[in-house]
A and B are shown apart, each in its own frame.
Chain A
Amino acid sequence: MLTEFFQYLFSGITVGATYAMAALGFTLIYNASNVINFAQGEFIMLGGMLAVLFTQAGLPLPVAVLLAVVVPTLVGVLVEKSVIEPVKGADTVNIIIITIGASLVIRGLVQVTLGKNARALPAFSGEAPVTLLGAVLPSQSLWVIGVTALVVAGLWFFFNRTMGGKAMLATAINRTAAQLVGINTAWVLTLSFALSAGLGALGGVLVTPITLTAYDAGIMLGLKGFVAAVVGGLGNGMGALVGGLLVGVLEAMGAGYLSSAYKDAVPFVLILLILFFMPRGLFSAKTTERV
Chain B
Amino acid sequence: MKTLAKTLAFCAATLLPLMAQAAEPIRIGSVLSVSGPAAFLGDPEAKTLEMYVAQINKQGGVLGREVKLVHYDDGGDASKANGFAKRLIDDDKVDFLVGGTTSGSTMSMVPLAEKAGIPFISLAGAVVIVEPVKKWVFKTPHSDRMAAEKVFVDMQKRGITKVALLSETSGFGQSGKKETEAVAAKYGITLVANETYGPKDTDMGPQLTKIKNTPGVQAVFVFGLGQGPAIVTKNYRQLGIDLPLYQSHGVASDEFLKLAGPAAEGVRLPSPAQIIGDKLPADDPQKPVVTAYNAAYKAAYNESTSTFGGYAYDGLMLMVQAVTAAGSTDRAKVRDALEATKGHVGVSGTFTMSPTDHMGLDLSSFRMLEVKNGDWALLP
Partner among A8, A211, A217, A260 whose Cβ is within 8 Å of the Cβ of B195: A260
- Once the chains bind, are A118 and B202 in contact (CB under 8 Å)? no
Partner among A116, A138, A256 whose Cβ is within 8 Å of the Cβ of B238: A138
A219 to B230, CA, bound (A): 20
Partner among B206, B231, B260 whose Cβ is within 8 Å of the Cβ of A255: B206
CB distance from B228 to the nearest CB of A (A): 9
- Once the chains bind, are A137 and B259 in contact (CB under 8 Å)? no
Minimal Cβ-Cβ distance residue in A for B43: A116
A272 to B262, CA, bound (A): 42
The residues of A that contact B218 with a CB separation of less than 8 Å are none
The residues of B that contact A15 with a CB separation of less than 8 Å are 202-203
A207 to B231, CA, bound (A): 12
Partner among A4, A120, A217 whose Cβ is within 8 Å of the Cβ of B258: A120
Q: Given A116-B43, A264-B198, decide whether A11 and B231 contact each other with a Cβ distance below 8 A.
A: no
CB distance from A8 to the nearest CB of B (A): 5
Q: Which of B202, B238, B255, B259 has the most CB of A within 10 A?
A: B202
A120 to B234, CA, bound (A): 11
Q: How many residues on the B side are at the interface (Cβ–Cβ under 8 A)? A: 37
A216 to B36, CA, bound (A): 8
Q: Given A117-B40, A261-B196, decide whether A211 and B202 contact each other with a Cβ distance below 8 A.
A: yes
CB distance from B154 to the nearest CB of A (A): 26
Query: Which A residues between 211 and 240 are near B, CB-CB below 8 angstroms?
Result: 211-212, 214, 216-217, 219-221
Indicate whether B213 reaches chain A with its CB closer than 8 angstroms: yes
Partner among A14, A120, A264 whose Cβ is within 8 Å of the Cβ of B203: A14
- Once the chains bind, are B35 and A210 in contact (CB under 8 Å)? no
B interface footprint on A54-69 (CB within 8 Å = 1, 0 otherwise): 0000000000000000
- Once the chains bind, are A260 and B206 in contact (CB under 8 Å)? yes
A119 to B201, CA, bound (A): 15
Q: Which of A120, A217, A264 has the most CB of B within 10 A?
A: A120
B contact face: mostly helix, strand, loop, or mixed: helix
Q: Given A118-B227, A118-B259, A138-B238, decide whether A4 and B40 contact each other with a Cβ distance below 8 A.
A: no
A178 to B227, CA, bound (A): 47
Indicate whether A127 reaches chain B with its CB closer than 8 angstroms: yes
A8 to B209, CA, bound (A): 8
The residues of B that contact A127 with a CB separation of less than 8 Å are 237-238, 261-263
Indicate whether A129 reaches chain B with its CB closer than 8 angstroms: yes
A253 to B209, CA, bound (A): 11
- Once the chains bind, are B209 and A4 in contact (CB under 8 Å)? yes
CB distance from B46 to the nearest CB of A (A): 11
A211 to B37, CA, bound (A): 16
- Once the chains bind, are A136 and B240 in contact (CB under 8 Å)? yes
The residues of B that contact A8 with a CB separation of less than 8 Å are 205-206, 209
Minimal Cβ-Cβ distance residue in B for A14: B203
Indicate whether B210 reaches chain A with its CB closer than 8 angstroms: yes
CB distance from B369 to the nearest CB of A (A): 20
The residues of A that contact B209 with a CB separation of less than 8 Å are 4, 7-8, 11, 256
Indicate whether A94 reaches chain B with its CB closer than 8 angstroms: no
- Once the chains bind, are A252 and B227 in contact (CB under 8 Å)? no
- Once the chains bind, are B200 and A255 in contact (CB under 8 Å)? no
Query: Which A residues between 125 and 149 are near B, CB-CB below 8 angstroms?
Result: 127, 129, 136-138
CB distance from B184 to the nearest CB of A (A): 19
The residues of A that contact B263 with a CB separation of less than 8 Å are 127
The residues of B that contact A174 with a CB separation of less than 8 Å are none
A158 to B40, CA, bound (A): 43
Partner among B39, B43, B206 whose Cβ is within 8 Å of the Cβ of A256: B206
Query: Which B residues between 187 and 210 are near A, CB-CB below 8 angstroms?
Result: 195-198, 200-203, 205-207, 209-210
A27 to B201, CA, bound (A): 24
- Once the chains bind, are A137 and B200 in contact (CB under 8 Å)? no
Partner among B195, B210, B231, B238 whose Cβ is within 8 Å of the Cβ of A137: B238
CB distance from A65 to the nearest CB of B (A): 19
A4 to B206, CA, bound (A): 8
A interface footprint on B256-288 (CB within 8 Å = 1, 0 otherwise): 001111110000000000000000000000000
Query: Which B residues between 233 and 256 are near A, CB-CB below 8 angstroms?
Result: 234, 237-240, 255
Partner among B195, B203, B210, B262 whose Cβ is within 8 Å of the Cβ of A210: B203
A15 to B203, CA, bound (A): 8
The residues of B that contact A117 with a CB separation of less than 8 Å are 40, 255
Minimal Cβ-Cβ distance residue in A for B240: A136
CB distance from A208 to the nearest CB of B (A): 10
Indicate whether B169 reaches chain A with its CB closer than 8 angstroms: yes
Partner among B39, B206, B213 whose Cβ is within 8 Å of the Cβ of A252: B206
- Once the chains bind, are B206 and A261 in contact (CB under 8 Å)? no
Partner among A216, A217, A220, A260 whose Cβ is within 8 Å of the Cβ of B207: A260
The residues of A that contact B262 with a CB separation of less than 8 Å are 127
Q: Given A127-B262, A129-B238, A210-B202, decide whether A116 and B210 contact each other with a Cβ distance below 8 A.
A: no
- Once the chains bind, are A252 and B203 in contact (CB under 8 Å)? yes
Indicate whether A160 reaches chain B with its CB closer than 8 angstroms: no
The residues of B that contact A111 with a CB separation of less than 8 Å are 35, 39
- Once the chains bind, are B40 and A116 in contact (CB under 8 Å)? yes
A127 to B262, CA, bound (A): 9
- Once the chains bind, are A118 and B35 in contact (CB under 8 Å)? no
The residues of A that contact B238 with a CB separation of less than 8 Å are 127, 129, 136-138
Q: Given A120-B230, A136-B238, A216-B37, decide whether A211 and B169 contact each other with a Cβ distance below 8 A.
A: no
A-B contact pairs, 11 of them (CB 8 A): A18-B202, A111-B35, A117-B255, A120-B261, A129-B237, A207-B202, A214-B227, A216-B39, A260-B210, A263-B206, A264-B198
Binding site for A on B (CB under 8 A): 35-37, 39-40, 43, 169, 195-198, 200-203, 205-207, 209-210, 213, 226-227, 230-231, 234, 237-240, 255, 258-263
Binding site for B on A (CB under 8 A): 4, 7-8, 11, 14-15, 18, 111, 115-120, 122, 127, 129, 136-138, 207, 210-212, 214, 216-217, 219-221, 252-253, 255-256, 260-261, 263-264
Q: Ordered nearest first, which 8 A-B pairs have the shortest CB separation?
A: A211-B202, A118-B227, A255-B206, A256-B206, A116-B39, A11-B205, A129-B238, A7-B209
